[in-house]
């Protein structure tokens, strides 16, 4: 049993039965920074290092469960270096993370039309109705910076928001439930994939996963595509405040099931973090993680 330290959430990570998503088992090796020099092998979760292991056993354990960024020696790991509600270790590249200023710059229908000022950017992607716009508004602490709608799939362009005049949050179209024409869906796939593959300033993709529902095949397909194409990603679980499920499984059970599937599909488990746009859970921790990604990319 591995216990996840969080503000109010405990997840039992006992082994699950083989997943019905076994057909996705491609064992991707994923980069977590847009750089050839990454040295980390995160897997599934613990925010508390054991105290009874030898140095070599502890190092092996840490490498199997944590996202360890460049600049961190395993022998120097302490419990307070791991962000609560995540498997992310904070290293020397973590810096100023608070958002003081944000402004909308432009919407682009094609990747080649995006800003060309070479500033680092972190893209946010997820299934329609996953809470993408709500998370962006929570991060910047301004209402309606990203338009929220009761109709999923309203974002159909690549939207750039300049943060602190130094980096971008990129709001990408949601996939899944959008009620748009087949032609628009085709264009979405083409220009979004073009953005991922050709955008040199892309630091990382935050792939949002709805914790209030069981693992969705469309999310796993997206994660597998990003993994196959070596696109750096971090899993961001949304709606983690919904601890009681009216029907179906609880968020902690859904998260455990999703992580088990990812373990079966990826040689290295990408970084992940729990969030809630309602309670603010994970906001500051996610911003700190984003800061170390940007700073390492920008060195």
Provide the pLDDT for residue 110.
86
Closest CA to 224 of 63, 3, 52, 22: 22
Provide the pLDDT for residue 219.
93
Provide the pLDDT for residue 58.
67
| Residue 135: burial class (beta carbons within 10 Å; 0-12, 13-18, 19+) | buried
Tokens for 173, please give them: 């179209």
Tokens for 34, please give them: 């847009």
Full-model pTM: 0.79
Provide the pLDDT for residue 76.
86
- φ/ψ bin of 239: left (φ > 0), alpha (ψ from -120 to 50), beta (otherwise): left
Provide the pLDDT for residue 126.
93
Tokens for 290, please give them: 């984003």
Q: Per residue of the chain (299 residues), what is the pLDDT tens digit?
A: 333 333 333 333 333 333 333 334 445 545 555 543 332 333 333 333 444 444 467 666 677 688 999 999 888 888 899 999 999 999 999 998 999 999 999 999 888 999 999 999 999 999 988 999 999 999 998 876 665 444 444 457 899 999 999 999 999 988 875 555 555 454 556 678 889 999 999 999 999 999 999 999 999 999 999 999 999 999 999 999 876 655 678 899 999 999 999 888 887 778 999 999 999 999 999 999 999 999 999 88
What is the side-by-side strand order in the sheet with 233-238?
102-108, 158-163, 167-171, 121-126, 202-210, 233-238, 272-274
User: Distance (Å, rounded) from C-alpha 96 to C-alpha 273?
Assistant: 19
User: Distance (Å, rounded) from C-alpha 43 to C-alpha 294?
Assistant: 22
Written out in words, the top-level CATH class of the domain with range 91-298 is alpha beta
Residue carrying the six token digits 């083989």: 18
User: Distance (Å, rounded) from C-alpha 93 to C-alpha 69?
Assistant: 8
User: Distance (Å, rounded) from C-alpha 269 to C-alpha 233?
Assistant: 10
Provide the pLDDT for residue 119.
97
Domain boundaries, the chain: 91-298
190 contacts: CB under 8 Å, gap ≥ 6: none
Provide the pLDDT for residue 242.
75
Provide the pLDDT for residue 209.
98
Provide the pLDDT for residue 97.
92
Q: Where are the alpha helices (DSSP H) in the chain?
A: 55-65, 132-140, 182-198, 217-228, 251-265, 283-297
- Residue 162's H or E segment, with its range, is strand 158-163
User: What secondary structure does DSSP assign to 185-236, as a single string?
Assistant: HHHHHHHHHHHHHH-TTEEEEEEEEETTS---HHHHHHHHHHHHTT--EEEE
């Amino acid at each position: 049993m591995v216990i996840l330290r969080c503000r109010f959430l405990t997840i039992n990570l006992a082994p699950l039965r083989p997943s019905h998503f076994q057909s996705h088992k491609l064992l991707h090796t994923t980069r977590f920074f847009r750089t050839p020099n990454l040295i980390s092998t995160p897997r599934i979760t613990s925010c508390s290092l054991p105290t009874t292991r030898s140095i070599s056993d502890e190092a092996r354990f840490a490498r199997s469960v944590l996202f360890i960024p460049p600049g961190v020696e395993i022998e120097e790991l302490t419990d307070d270096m791991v962000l609560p509600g995540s498997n992310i270790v904070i290293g020397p590249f973590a810096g100023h993370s608070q958002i003081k200023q944000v402004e909308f710059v432009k919407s682009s229908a094609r990747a080649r039309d995006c800003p060309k000022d070479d500033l680092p950017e972190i893209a946010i992607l997820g299934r329609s109705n996953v809470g993408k716009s709500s998370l962006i508004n929570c991060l910047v602490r301004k209402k309606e910076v990203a338009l929220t709608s009761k109709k999923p799939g309203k974002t159909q362009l690549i939207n750039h928001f300049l943060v602190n005049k130094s980096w971008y949050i990129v709001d990408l179209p949601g996939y899944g439930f959008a009620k748009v024409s087949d032609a628009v869906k085709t264009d979405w796939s083409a220009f979004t994939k073009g953005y991922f593959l050709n955008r040199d300033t892309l630091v990382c993709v935050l792939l949002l996963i709805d914790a209030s529902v069981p693992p969705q095949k469309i999310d796993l397909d997206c994660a597998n595509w990003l993994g196959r194409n070596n696109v750096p990603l971090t899993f961001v679980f949304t709606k983690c405040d919904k601890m009681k499920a009216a029907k179906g499984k609880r968020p902690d059970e859904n998260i455990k099931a999703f992580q088990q599937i990812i373990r079966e599909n990826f040689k290295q488990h990408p970084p992940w973090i729990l969030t809630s746009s309602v309670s603010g859970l994970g906001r500051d921790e996610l911003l700190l993680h984003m800061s170390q990604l940007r700073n390492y990319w920008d060195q």
